[in-house]
A and B are shown apart, each in its own frame.
Chain A
């Protein structure tokens, strides 16, 4: 995002994307880039946890259904660690109960794949408190 005077002095917020789906990891960063975010992708929850982005991430876009550690598991883990990163969950499952569960766990946003760019943007803005 550029500042009104054109200088790029404001650092772009870091959004972490954790999804085992390759096409997601492939396509989202460019879109987020258009939105003016910095994006980093991780194929699994574990990868994210051991990365150095952990402290820098401003928002986590997190797939729920993943082998090994699921999205909910990661959320749990972060909670245990006292990490309060806002989480936007995304999933292909149309199950209403999943959505409910996500929100109960304190998700800031919930996206049902495939989602529009505006929906994503809205969720991100909410997560980052950007209106």
Chain B
């Protein structure tokens, strides 16, 4: 090593620098507290490199476990950097040499650089590690630099040892911790198991406690059941002795529990006449296991304390348990029930009889009966109704009464039903037609009423239905007959009058022929009697006109078919008829007289028909006198005002009169006293008069004969 021949200033600088470096180095360990070896070494190398401007600094340390750590720091401008291994190789041989023997500094060549290297031992004997500092400076290492390096090495060693110690401590601590954790875990597990066991034991204890409570409750409950039961509960052991006798049994039989406990059941509540049966049955059961009474409800007779025998219902069961059998009987006094049953049966029988009776009425009724719901749907129909309609009851149940009513009658029917349902009427009658199953129709007269509902059943409609087809057909036939009769009346009158017409016309005709003949003769005379001829010719013409007048009048009488009402002069009408009848009356030697009231009001009616009536009365009057020979045949026609502001016509004859027998039948159709008459005149006449709102009647005269009178109002009130 060359001694520097610096000046004092330089020396002071160098020394100052050295002191600073030493201060820094001495401060280093403070920063290494708790650090790991690599950091310590790293710091150290870094610090040395900078402080001493080294080219490189290398360290190798060994920890307590013998692991080596190599680190190198190189000056930045040295490129490429020599790696830690390269340096490590270089220094390897030096490591075996004792430190004392270290030739330091040593001149080496590293990567083409010549440099001085200073090795430093870490630890007292280098056991901790080694640091090598190298520089290519010529003056390396100076004294001061050596000092710094040594101190730094010391500090590093101290720091490293401290770190090693710390890490060793840590390791131990951690191992201890692990042990503790493990142990703790083991203890914890054991604890857990113990805890579970305790919990289980507790829950078992709890359950046992509950069961005991339940048992206690159950016992109490059972006792309560027995005590509160309204049914008698009697228990018996295998010998047949009573083991239980609940309060209800006490009440029913009249014993107290202590009286009967231990006694034989048979002796207490079984009547003497049944005891043998019971005993043998019981014995049989015990022997064979078979019984007729076990497990079912049966009725039998039991004996009470006061000697009464009562009917009871009893169910005996065997109590399931090991050992000898015991039995429980549940029984009740059914005296009341039996009484009720009998009463019920009787009521039922009465109802059944009543039902039977009504059913019979329904079935056998001579009138059709049908029931429908409030919508009109059939619920029931008796055989007659079914027959009337041609439907079975089942078929009818698919239909409503509207379905089988002909269309034209449906509206009226509905209207009436609605009035019924709304309460506007209690019942109604209707004549209508049903359509049978086969399509034909039948006239019925129905009386319909509502049967109100009860809580249990809804209301329904009831129809009593009478087949009136025959009657209606008869009525229709009768109406037809009446029309025919009316027609026939006209025809008959016509035929009778045809004779009159013939007679009427004949008179002028005779005159015509006679006069004409005379006229010709007169003209043939020599000289011709012109005056006479003229006269006879004139008469001829006149008679011809007369004849046609008659025909015209009579035609008018019979041309009208329907009644047409108009105002007409009553007297004039009467006169016309009288004129028509004159010849016939004369033929019959009837003297016709008329007394027609003056100022008779006009009348509203069918003139022709009224004339028919008058004609009829006149004819009748005339006929009534046909056998009269001992007196004159007088026919009086009289018109007058009727008291009800109408007109009245009377035709009075002096004929045979009407006796009481005849009087009743007088106006009946087909009644006649004449051998050649049809007897329709009066009946038809009456119809005509009544159609005019009038009346036609007959009275016996004070003298001989009868008077037929009719009156009609002047105007009809429609």
Complex: A28 Cα to B536 Cα, angstroms: 10
- Chain B residues near A66 (CB-CB < 8 A): 586, 589
Q: Is the CB of A67 within 8 A of B589?
A: yes
Instruction: For A28, list chain B residues within 8 Å (CB).
Output: 514
Chain A, residue nearest B504 (CB): A92
Complex: how many Å from CA A115 to CA B516? 12
* B residues in contact with A34, CB < 8 Å: 518, 521-522, 525
A28 to B518, CA, bound (A): 8
Nearest Cβ on chain A to B98's Cβ, whole angstroms: 206
Query: A24 contacts the other chain (Cβ, under 8 Å)?
Result: yes
Contacting pair A23 B510 (CB below 8 A): yes
A113 touches B507 (CB 8 A): yes
Are A27 and B586 interface neighbours, CB within 8 A?
no
Highest count of chain B CB atoms <10 Å: which of A30, A31, A94: A30
For B502, what are the chain A residues with a Cβ–Cβ distance below 8 Å?
92, 94
Q: Which of B510, B521, B539, B589 contacts A70 (CB 8 A)?
A: B589
CB-defined contacts of A27 to chain B, threshold 8 Å: 510-511, 514-515, 518, 536, 539
The interface centre, meaning the residue of B503, B518, B535 with most chain A CB atoms within 10 A of its CB, is: B518
A67 cross-chain contacts in B, Cβ below 8 A:
585-586, 589-591
Known: A23-B543, A24-B507. A116 touches B513 (CB 8 A): yes
Report how many residues on chain B are interfacial, defined by Cβ distance under 8 Å. 30
Q: Give Cα A93–Cα B500 distance, bound, in whole angstroms.
A: 10
The answer to whether B512 has its CB under 8 Å from any CB of chain A is yes
- Which residues of chain B are within 8 angstroms of A26 by Cβ–Cβ distance? 511, 539
Q: When the two chains form their complex, are residues A30 and B536 in contact, meaning their CB atoms are under 8 A apart?
A: yes
Given A23-B543, A31-B518, A31-B521 in contact, is the A113-B589 Cβ separation under 8 Å?
no
Tell me, in angstroms, the Cα distance from A21 to B547 when the chains sit together.
Answer: 14
Q: Is the CB of B514 within 8 A of A114?
A: yes
CA–CA, A115 to B515, complex, Å? 11
Interface secondary structure of B, over-half rule: helix
Decide if A117 is an interface residue (CB 8 Å cutoff): yes
Contact yes or no, B507 A92, CB < 8 A: yes
- Looking at the assembled complex, report how far the CB atom of B551 sits from the nearest CB atom of chain A, in whole angstroms: 15
A105 CB to nearest chain B CB (Å): 17
Cβ of A107 within 8 Å of any chain B Cβ, yes or no, is no
Assess whether B509 is in contact with A114, with CB atoms less than 8 Å apart.
yes
Residues of B near A65 (CB, < 8 A) are 586-587
A57-71 CB mask vs B (1 if < 8 Å, else 0) is 000000001111010
Q: Is B218 an interface residue (CB 8 A)?
A: no
Q: Are A68 and B511 in contact (CB under 8 A)?
A: no
Instruction: Answer whether residue B506 sits at the interface, using C-beta atoms and an 8 A cutoff.
Output: yes
Chain A residues near B515 (CB-CB < 8 A): 27, 30-31
A contacts with B: majority SS: loop
Tell me the minimal C-beta distance from A37 to chain B in angstroms: 12
Instruction: Say whether A113 contacts B510, CB under 8 Å.
Output: yes
Assess A31 versus B514: contact at CB under 8 Å? Given A20-B586, A66-B586: yes
Q: In the docked arrangement, what's the CA distance between A67 and B586, Å?
A: 5
A21 near B503: Cβ-Cβ < 8 Å: no
B119 contacts the other chain (CB 8 A): no
Cα distance A67–B148 when bound, in Å? 205
Inter-subunit contact A117/B518 (CB<8 Å): yes
Identify which of B506, B532, B586, B590 contacts A113 (C-beta below 8 A): B506
Bound: A21/B218 CA distance, A:
139
Among B508, B517, B518, B521, the residue within 8 A (CB) of A23 is B508
Render A68-111 as a binary contact track against B, CB cut-off 8 A, 1 for contact.
10100000000000000000000011100000000000000000
Chain A residues with CB under 8 A of B591:
67-68
Bound form: Cα–Cα A63–B514 in Å: 15
Q: How far is the CA of A21 from the CA of B504 in the complex (A)?
A: 11
Chain A nearest CB, measured from B391 CB (Å):
65
Q: Mark A1-36, 1 if CB is under 8 A from B, else 0.
A: 000000000000000000011011011101100100
Asked, given contacts A20-B586, A31-B521, A68-B591, whether A115 binds B536 with beta carbons under 8 Å apart, the answer is: no
| B503 partner residues in chain A, CB cutoff 8 A | 92-93
Tell me the minimal C-beta distance from B548 to chain A in angstroms: 14
Quote the shortest CB–CB distance from B543 to chain A (angstroms). Answer: 6
B519 to chain A, nearest CB (A): 9
Closest Cβ of chain A: how far from B35's Cβ, in Å? 181
In the bound assembly, the distance between CA atoms of A116 and B521 in angstroms comes to: 13
Minimum CB–CB distance for B222 against chain A, Å:
128
Task: Name the distance in Å between B712's Cβ and chain A's nearest Cβ.
Answer: 30
> In the complex, what's the smallest C-beta–C-beta distance from A71 to chain B, in angstroms?
11
In Å, the complex CA distance between A57 and B508 comes to: 26
Q: Quick check: A24 and B510 within 8 Å, CB to CB?
A: yes
CB distance from A102 to the nearest CB of B (A): 15
Q: Which residue of B lies closest to A121 (CB)?
A: B517
Chain B residue, CB-CB nearest to A69: B589
| Residues from chain A with Cβ under 8 Å of B539 in the complex | 23, 26-27
B509 touches A30 (CB 8 A): no
- Known contacts: A27-B514, A30-B532. The answer to whether A114 contacts B586 by CB under 8 A is no
> Within the complex, what minimum Cβ distance (angstroms) separates B323 from chain A?
136
Name the A residues within 8 Å of B525 (CB-CB).
34
**Which residue of the partner chain B has the closest CB to A92?**
B506
Query: Chain B 520-564, CB within 8 Å of chain A: the 1/0 string?
Result: 011001000000100110010001001000000000000000000
Smallest CB gap from A34: residue in B: B521
For B587, what are the chain A residues with a Cβ–Cβ distance below 8 Å? 65, 93
Residues on B with beta carbons closer than 8 Å to the beta carbon of A70: 589
Contact pick for B511, options A20, A24, A120, CB 8 Å = A24
Shortest CB distance A74–B (Å): 12
What is the CA–CA distance of A36 and B522 in the complex, to the nearest angstrom? 12
Give which listed residue, B507, B509, B517, contacts A31 with CB less than 8 A.
B517
Contact with A along B583-613 (1 / 0, CB 8 A): 0011101110000000000000000000000
Closest residue of chain B to A29, judged by CB? B518
Tell me the bound Cα distance from A81 to B536 in angstroms. Answer: 37
The residues of A that contact B518 with a CB separation of less than 8 Å are 27, 30-31, 34, 117
Listed residue (B503, B510, B521, B543) with the most chain A CB atoms within 10 angstroms of its CB: B510
A20 and B532 CA atoms in complex are apart in Å by: 24
Sample of 19 more A-B contacts, CB < 8 Å, known A27-B536, A31-B521: A23-B507, A23-B511, A23-B543, A27-B510, A28-B514, A30-B535, A31-B514, A31-B517, A67-B585, A67-B586, A67-B589, A67-B591, A68-B632, A93-B587, A113-B509, A114-B511, A114-B512, A114-B513, A114-B514
* A-B CB proximity, top 3 nearest: A23-B511, A117-B517, A27-B514
What would be 30 A-B contacts, judged by CB atoms less than 8 Å apart? A20-B586, A21-B507, A23-B507, A23-B543, A24-B510, A26-B539, A27-B510, A27-B539, A30-B515, A30-B522, A30-B532, A30-B535, A31-B515, A31-B517, A31-B518, A66-B586, A66-B589, A67-B589, A68-B591, A70-B589, A92-B503, A94-B502, A113-B507, A113-B509, A114-B512, A116-B513, A116-B517, A117-B513, A117-B514, A117-B517
Q: Which residues on A are within 8 Å of B, measured CB to CB?
A: 20-21, 23-24, 26-28, 30-31, 34, 65-68, 70, 92-94, 113-117, 120
